[in-house]
Amino acid sequence: KGEKVREENNFNKNLKALSGFEYNNLRKKLEDLKELREFTFTQGKDNLDINIIKKRNLKKMYQDPIKELEKNLEYFKDFTRYPVLFFYGFGNG
So what's the pLDDT on residue 91?
61
Contact 50, 65 (CB under 8 A): yes
So what's the pLDDT on residue 24?
92
- Report for 2-6, 34-38, 56-60, 80-84: range of highest mean pLDDT: 56-60
**DSSP state, residue 89:** S
Contact 10, 93 (CB under 8 A): yes
Closest CA to 40 of 23, 25, 59: 59
- Give every strand in the sheet of 39-43, ordered side by side: 39-43, 50-54, 59-60
So what's the pLDDT on residue 41?
86
pLDDT band at 58 (very low <50, low <70, confident <90, very high): very high
**Phi and psi at residue 90, to the nearest 5°:** -135, 160
Which H or E run includes 81?
none
Residue range 18-23: mean pLDDT, rounded: 89
pLDDT tens track for 64-78: 999 999 998 898 888
